[in-house]
Structure 1
Amino acid sequence: MQNSQPHAALLVSPGMGHLIPALELGKRMATHHGFHVTVFIVAEGHASTSLLKSPNNYPENLDVVLLPPVDISAIVGPDASLTVKMIFIMRQSLPLLRSEILTMKIRPTMLIVDIFGTEAFTIADEFGVLRYVFITSNAWLLALSVYSSAAAKEVTEEHVKKHKPLKIPGCKSIIRFEDTLDALQDPNDPLLQGFIALGGVISKADGILVNTWEDLETSTIQSFRDTKLLGQIVEAVYPIGPLVRWVGQGGSDHPVMDWLDKQPAKSVIYVSFGSGGTLSAKQMIELAWGLELSRQRFIWVVRPPSDHDASGSYFTIVQSIDVDSDYLPDGFLNRTRDVGFVVPMWAPQVDILSHPSVGGFLSHCGWNSTLESIMNGVPMVAWPLYAEQKMNAALLAEEIGVAIRPKQSPVGDGVVGREEVEKMVRKIMVEEEGRAMRKRAVELKYSGEKALSKGACSYNSLSQVAKECLQCLIGS
């Protein structure tokens, strides 16, 4: 059974960084581009499931389907990396996706997957639907992926083994070895070959959607059109961002908002490491002292430390904790009571970043948080922890110009000392360099808003996808 309305199915991996942009993409496709949309979510006991308890005013032609959880304990050990866990969770969820599609009265015209869901292309082929990839991160990560596939020998020999910087044709910035993905830092890592193969799979999609926009990554986006990254020009790349939550979708009744209302404009730095990020016990102590020494107002979302896994909270359901515990310096809460607000586990990030009292964001540089910061005109202290966050930090600091980075990498066993924390916080909040970054962030905020408006670049990119799907539907 078919109709004249294109029907998009989105398969979403666990985690807020995937779920939030996918839901925003679904809403825009349904509201602005004439799609019926079904979002299939693999939510492996993650805190992101709380986002689904309220429909957030989903349009009538958008359906959300939560796939049953899968058990990977017999396949993957508890110490496996986050990436490995995600790969197997998605793989084990494919039969569930297939079963759901079989029960649909109107089959999808297209299947959109994120980078962990590309194995679902076999299901798309089975049902004869278009295959699209949604890069919930930036165009630089996409360029690295497709170039690693096209120039696998060079990437492996020069970058992975010899630690030389990687220059992707057409891209403005180089990727230093210390900023690269974890999978590209060890030639014996089994994820290396998987990442190299991923670029080839992505390149065979009918289209690639990216959560960015022309003005934010001009040279990288242009490189796909002008440079033969894959032996041919990659024309089917669609920058459709920024896809972020907007004010009112977070949770503005949180007590932190009342505290913010009493603070001067641009005086508060917000400190959060995303829905999954954790710090070591030693790093938490140094960060606490640095915030105190800076004498700046702050909001800090605190989680228990982990000395083994920076993504230790990724699959943890949000729960209450006692913040007055032995992982903060003695007396810290009392000494900072007048200038700081410590929030256990979770805070309404969008509402905080949009508040006029917030002037900076100390962030793990997840792309979702990055865009939320930029779209509220807030500069950043870039503090990457895992995944592509080191690359994001480099991009933000050295090309986009809205962030500063610590000299000592906080990734792995590195510890950023209290003195450097103090300097970075003061630099972003009260010094001239921070004011210049804030001005740049505000410029990009308006640029991003314009990109999504009717007739502008990101709007037109998604319109082109809709046109292609409609043509496929009519011709079928």
Structure 2
Amino acid sequence: MASGSDMDDSSSSKLHVIILSSPGAGHLIPVLVLANRLAAKYGVRSTVLQVTTAMSPETNLVNLPIDKELVETIRLPPVDISNLVGPDTKVVTQLCLMMREAVPLVRSAVTAMDRRPDALFVDLFGSESLHIADEFNMPKYLYCTSTAWFLALSVYCPILDEKIEDQYVDEPEHLKIPGCKPVRPEDVVDPMLDRGDQQYREYLRMGMEFTLCDGILVNTCEDWEAKTLQAFRENESMKSVLKSPVYPIGPLTRQVEPTGLKSEFRDWLDKQPNQSVLFVSFGSGGVLSAEQTRELAWGLELSQQRFLWVIRPPTKHGVDDAFFTANGGAEDDYLPKGFIERTKNIGILVPKWAQQVEILAHPSVGGFLFHCGWNSTLESITSGVPMIAWPLYAEQRLNATMLVEELGVAVRPEVLPTKKVVGWEEIEKMVRTLMAHKDGQAMRDRAKQLKTRATNGLISEAGSANKSICKILSNIEAKHK
């Protein structure tokens, strides 16, 4: 199988794959990053099918440069699930319903193509479209935009469902997955928190459908999850559940924009000492309570460490100019009175959104307090930045445990932030540990080591990520012939 620079002269340069993306920026970004990778290094053409809704404005904010010659993005007509959901319908259920309603749209898009594509890739919520590949006699692959550990839990959950009768969170012992690190009951993914909810049934279905693929791409690194990836290859109990090969292809992340940071961020960051700034951001869905926001503010202030905080006011409040002034009335609602004025020399507040990749790559940034989303995790490690893990939802508790206990590049609160408010004393201690203590420097050194090894896996012809993608493309090419 040709790879790298000689790929253009091989028949693989003619390969055309479809990649299906769920709604939401967090799902679309890793799909576009994969499409760009396939184009830039392997000459593969991709058509990204983006499932949309009438209420998904955050997707429009994705301004990720793509290879316009080899990557095409098609926004499918919006799906409407308003008659299928209620006020208590969980996020995973909503996403599954959206992707289910989109199946005919995906089929129509494939049918309308001049030439049958050579393979179909779907993201985690797109597994119900896998059978479309069978209809068109195409190989089918799952793109897992999370960890191999999350994948192991997902495909093994139907077995756990048979073995365990009560709620997983009430189990006295860790949940055992063959060949993998056991899962603490409190770390299970959101759909496993309530076995009586529809999203749990959807999650079980997804786990079973994942096993029907010709292969599974995981946006992780061989070096980071060697034990779990070995379990997929060698553990007989795991192999009896998942017969499909698992390919570590990461870490694939957004690249730093050549245009750089907005001047208001760059000018401030440029004035700060090297590795002295803590970047604080909880992603597009990370909104803290008013009480927790105040505690976080106190902890940041009393730590006396520099910070750049992307702040989203509690849900009941709107963002207005008054919030970002020293004497604005909104400040008193969820920030300590006078906080902005007192911290103006060491901190900067940013409303709602900032250029995360560019900020993490800036030399003055030395730590990241965040929600443990996997996209953000990859961006932090590949910038060599250690973390304060603050998991909020989805599989983020798993990610936090992996960062702290397996990779050794993060600290976290003693009690999950979703269970109780984290006090300012503990926040101050975590910030000081990460930014001003020898333990924080050790984590920073470790993050840089992980970055170097991961980069080698991507750019080296013998690297695990490169070998994985070459194997996938060889299999698709063989089927194509």
Letter aligned with residue 186 of structure 1: D
In structure 2, the partner of 1:46 is 57
2:134 is the alignment partner of 1:125: yes
Distance apart, 1:6 and its partner CA: 2.0
| Distance in structure 2 (CA, Å) of the matches to 1:217 and 1:452 | 15
Distance apart, 1:42 and its partner CA: 2.0
Letter aligned with residue 415 of structure 1: V
Distance apart, 1:235 and its partner CA: 5.1
Letter aligned with residue 360 of structure 2: L
Distance 1:33 1:215, change over 3 A: same
In structure 2, the partner of 1:195 is 203
2:448 is the alignment partner of 1:442: yes
| Distance in structure 2 (CA, Å) of the matches to 1:408 and 1:168 | 24
Sequence identity (%): 47
Name the SS for the 2:62 alignment partner: helix
1:62 to 67, 71, 75: 71
The normalised TM-score by structure 1 is 0.92
Name which of structure 1's ranges 14-23 and 374-383 shifts more when overlaid on structure 2.
Answer: 14-23
2:261 is the alignment partner of 1:252: yes
In structure 2, the partner of 1:23 is 32
Distance apart, 1:75 and its partner CA: 1.3
| Distance in structure 2 (CA, Å) of the matches to 1:319 and 1:334 | 18
Where in structure 1 do 4 or more consecutive aligned residues deviate above 4 Å?
155-158, 318-322
Name the SS for the 1:414 alignment partner: coil
| Distance in structure 2 (CA, Å) of the matches to 1:362 and 1:234 | 38
1:337 to 325, 341, 344: 344
Letter aligned with residue 185 of structure 1: L
Name the SS for the 2:217 alignment partner: strand
Distance apart, 1:320 and its partner CA: 6.8
1:360-409 Cα offsets, whole Å, 9 max, x none, are 00010000000000000000000000000011001100111111110121
In structure 1, the partner of 2:227 is 219
1:334-366 Cα offsets, whole Å, 9 max, x none, are 111111010000000000000000000001000
1:427 to 426, 433, 438: 433
Distance apart, 1:233 and its partner CA: 6.5
Contact 2:16 2:118 in 1 (8 A): yes
Contact 2:118 2:476 in 1 (8 A): yes
Contact 2:313 2:319 in 1 (8 A): no
2:422 is the alignment partner of 1:416: yes
Name which of structure 1's ranges 235-244 and 92-101 shifts more when overlaid on structure 2.
Answer: 92-101
Distance apart, 1:254 and its partner CA: 4.6
Distance apart, 1:69 and its partner CA: 1.9
In structure 1, the partner of 2:188 is 180
| Distance in structure 1 (CA, Å) of the matches to 2:57 and 2:319 | 11
In structure 2, the partner of 1:315 is none
Distance apart, 1:57 and its partner CA: 4.3
In structure 1, the partner of 2:327 is none
| Distance in structure 1 (CA, Å) of the matches to 2:256 and 2:471 | 28
| Distance in structure 1 (CA, Å) of the matches to 2:307 and 2:175 | 37
| Distance in structure 2 (CA, Å) of the matches to 1:235 and 1:99 | 28
In structure 2, the partner of 1:323 is 323
In structure 1, the partner of 2:4 is none
Matches within 5 A, 1:58-457: 58-156=67-165, 159=168, 162-171=171-180, 173-227=181-235, 228-231=237-240, 234=243, 236-248=245-257, 252-306=261-315, 322-324=322-324, 325=330, 326-411=333-418, 413-453=419-459, 454-457=461-464
Name which of structure 1's ranges 126-135 and 13-22 shifts more when overlaid on structure 2.
Answer: 13-22
| Count of residue pairs brought into register by the alignment | 459
Letter aligned with residue 225 of structure 2: E
| Distance in structure 1 (CA, Å) of the matches to 2:134 and 2:370 | 40
Give unmatched runs, 5+ long, in structure 2. Answer: 1-10, 325-329
Letter aligned with residue 167 of structure 1: K
Letter aligned with residue 452 of structure 2: Y
| Distance in structure 2 (CA, Å) of the matches to 1:449 and 1:155 | 41
| Distance in structure 2 (CA, Å) of the matches to 1:447 and 1:373 | 14
Letter aligned with residue 448 of structure 2: V
| Distance in structure 2 (CA, Å) of the matches to 1:242 and 1:382 | 19
The normalised TM-score by structure 2 is 0.91
Distance apart, 1:261 and its partner CA: 0.5
1:440-473 Cα offsets, whole Å, 9 max, x none, are 1000000111111133110110011100001000
Give unmatched runs, 5+ long, in structure 1. Answer: 313-317
1:4-39 Cα offsets, whole Å, 9 max, x none, are 722110011122332221111111112222321101
1:208-249 Cα offsets, whole Å, 9 max, x none, are 000001101110111101112152664510000001012117
Distance apart, 1:123 and its partner CA: 1.9
| Distance in structure 1 (CA, Å) of the matches to 2:259 and 2:462 | 28
Distance 1:250 1:321, change over 3 A: farther
